[in-house]
Amino acid sequence: MMNRRAFVTGLGAVLVALRGVEAQQAGKVPRVGVLSPGYPPPDDPFDQRTMFEGGLRDLGWNPGVTITVEYRYAAGDAARLVTDAQGLVKLPVDLLVARSAPAIRAARRATSSIPIVMSASLDPIEEGFVAGLSRPGGTITGLTLLAENLDGKQVELLRVAMPKLSTVGFLQNPRTRRHPALAGVAQRLGVELREFAIASPSQIAPAFATMKEARMGAMIIRPDTLVLDARAKEIAIIAARYAVSTISAFREFPEFGGLMSYGADLRDIHRRSASFVDKILKGAKPADLPVEQPTKFELVINLKTAKALGLIIPPSLLLRADQVIE
The mean pLDDT of 213-227, rounded to a whole number, is 84
Residue 320's contacts (CB-CB under 8 Å, 6 or more residues apart) are 299
> φ, ψ for residue 229 (rounded to 5)?
-60, -40
Q: Is the pLDDT of residue 320 over 80?
A: yes
Q: Between 25 and 39, whose confidence is greater?
A: 39
So what's the pLDDT on residue 147? 62
The mean pLDDT of 65-93, rounded to a whole number, is 95
- How many beta carbons lie within 10 A of that of residue 42, not counting itself? 7
Confidence of residue 247 (pLDDT cuts 50, 70, 90): very high
So what's the pLDDT on residue 177? 64
The mean pLDDT of 289-317, rounded to a whole number, is 93
- How many beta carbons lie within 10 A of that of residue 148, not counting itself? 9
The mean pLDDT of 113-125, rounded to a whole number, is 91
Architecture, CATH, for domain 150-265+297-325: 3-Layer(aba) Sandwich (3.40)
Q: Is the pLDDT of residue 113 over 60?
A: yes
So what's the pLDDT on residue 225? 75
So what's the pLDDT on residue 65? 96
Quote the strand ranges of 6-146, DSSP E: 31-36, 68-73, 95-98, 116-119, 140-143
Percent of the chain with pLDDT over 90: 57
Strand order in the sheet with 95-98: 68-73, 31-36, 95-98, 116-119, 140-143
Q: Does domain 28-146+267-288 have CATH number 3.40.718.10?
A: no
So what's the pLDDT on residue 19? 36
Q: Is the pLDDT of residue 20 over 80?
A: no
The mean pLDDT of 151-177, rounded to a whole number, is 87
So what's the pLDDT on residue 27? 64
pLDDT mean across residues, the chain: 86
What does the alpha-carbon distance between residue 74 and residue 82 come to, in Å, rounded to a whole number?
9
- How many beta carbons lie within 10 A of that of residue 151, not counting itself? 26
So what's the pLDDT on residue 31? 98
The CATH 3.40.50.2300 domain(s) of the chain lie at 28-146+267-288, 150-265+297-325
So what's the pLDDT on residue 70? 97
So what's the pLDDT on residue 74? 93
Of 85-89, 131-135, 229-233, 258-262, give the lowest mean pLDDT range.
229-233
So what's the pLDDT on residue 60? 97
